Structure 1
Amino acid sequence: MIIGFDARYAEGDLVGVGKYIQSLVTGVAKSGRTCIVFYSREPKVKISGTTAVILNSVNRYHFEQVLLPIALKKYKVDLYHATGNVGVPLFCPVPALLTVHDIIPLEIKDYFSYSPFSFLSKLSYVLRLKASIFKAAKIVTDSNYVKNVLIIKLKVTPEKIQTIYLGSPGTIMPGKLPLNLIGKKYVLNHGGIDIRKNLDRLIEAFALVHKKHGEIKLVITGENKRMREDLEKLIGKLNLGNSVVFTGYLDDATLSAVIKSACLICYPTLSEGFGFPVLEGFGKEIPVISSNISSIPEVVGNAAILVNPERVNDIAGAMEKVLDNSEQAHEMVLKGKAQYNKFSWEKCVNEYLDLYNHI
């Protein structure tokens, strides 16, 4: 069987969906299937065991609706897997599988507020999502939460959707800790700078905690210049000075070191399709606080403290609870290790392979 994959999310730094594509396709290639991965530009890192095809497109529509159908025929692909929420061609010449990781742009009212063409961006997303759902022979979600949202909000028939949980992040040897974090005690949020990450409320909650724990810092990873500028204004307003540290993008080894050295991970996300950051915390034996909504309860079980992400006092209270109680923190670490081991890439890949064989 020759399987084609949309690998555009794996072109740059591998985060989120990019990590998923790399892990899934690597596993599928090892199973003996022929994997053709389609990029819109030269990737930073190619996926081993696959054939990489660069489709030099003008834009996403040119890639999906013009170049891709031609390439699927040219490379005699038997099945196409659209890996990133959208991307199934309207005139797809082969059966297509669509993975919908989340529908966050429909859940977060101001998701496109940082786009200069916010209305058009949302309209484009909705049209591409609905068209891809309609054309796909089967849909996979990373959690039952997303499956249920598709059924309720977009009226997708339940029989068309299958949940396949992702695997836990692999073990990466920690690199060097950034100099400005050596010897520091800090709370970490490493989900990236994004409107759905709820970083404004996290910073407000941290300001409350900082009154009692003045030695603690808040570390935020990721890049987003416009949002960071707004967050820095909030930090100034709250007189937090250098107590909040923005690291920018971190490579895997450095991020691994930053996670490993944290005293607590606080991830009060407003919407999530799965939740890699909480599992990364579990894997590094760090206590985790996260949200009591979306897919998070499904992924963390009873291994984390869950809070209402819209209540600043609840977030602050949870942080103080962990910082003030080492016994509770230790108990959370033990539960986190057990929860981490429930998610396997081998199982994820095998479930996808079984699905490929039945489409």
Structure 2
Amino acid sequence: MPTPSAERTNAKNRHPALIMAVDDDPFTLESFSRFLKKQGYQVQTADNGAAALILCQQRKPDIIMMDATMPGLDGFQTCRKIKENSALNDIPIIMVTGLEDADSVSRAFTSGAEEYITKPVNWAVLEQRLKLLLAHRNAEKDLLEYAFNLAKSNHDLEAFAYIVSHDLKEPLNLIQAFAQRLEKKCGDQLGEKGHEYLRRINHSASHMQQLIDGLLYYARITTTKEPFTSVPLGALIENIVKDLEIELDKVEARIEIGELPTLEADPILMEQLFRNLFSNALKYRSENRPPLISISATPLFASNGTEEKKWEIVIHDNGLGFDNRDQEKIFAMFQRLDQGKKLPGTGIGLAICRRIAEQHQGSIRASSIVDQGSSFYLVLPEKQKS
């Protein structure tokens, strides 16, 4: 468990975290500044939204505490502009305001705020919120830094898997521990909103667990090799469709399955590959029409007849689609396209698909038309080379 001072540091160099306080009232700013310095944080202040935006770009803070009602650019507008900036949108924002009505709370979260605290401020609650947000932010930074550095340097994947499954669980445990501490020490003061925030924290922790599990699975694809066996893709796809039956019925999805071959493959990896692709098609469905997902296969032969037979398997959907300029980007780790709405996910699923395809001496690519649908093209050999 980190020391109290470590809880107040940023992830990169472990120097005191920088907290920005934004409020048009000088007395409130001075109160925030005294409180934050007493807690061991670095402090940056701004008395209006426009100044806050400039300061954020000059020296990126770790957390922003923002008043909602300010002249000129108010807190809601400033929050939205920060979240629209790709260089700043990962900064957690706490809306600190005297507004208590449901509409203001809704506007704050719609604008991108992670937390909402009403004035007069309960300093004990604010202290715990800052610790939780900072722990969460540090954990995400640690996770990304570990993943990118290890992947880029191509270290031993077994060591990578160990780090993901063990070392990266410590910051996750820290988040959960602070959530429990907040519940125990400040539960009576939190009220209904506070308990809703705890629910959001636990939801984020669950998302991070999925991310860690995804990274672990990604690393193990090449380190854990099962014997290849004959895998009838038709039966495999039918089983996946049965597993997704409730979700398919809920959105009135239609599935079209063509004649599919039997391939020499790892059945567990094949199931994961196609399950990811079907789940992806459902996740990025259009709200304007029921989902239609089709899968078909075409045999491929080399012109000189020397290469062994391969199959091109096409999974097509009529969903949201994406810009074809992103057709390589979508297969990179942690890459998620902005589809105009917030969707769950880790940004690892398609990277796993590519790794599985390559593990089977195959390939995967995609093409798409925005708001018309996407097609994923898998090329896999019928028999694996020994």
Task: Please give the TM-score of this superposition, normalised by the length of structure 2.
Answer: 0.24
Q: Which has the higher contact order (CA 8 A, sep 6+)?
A: 1
Report which of the two has the higher share of helix: 2
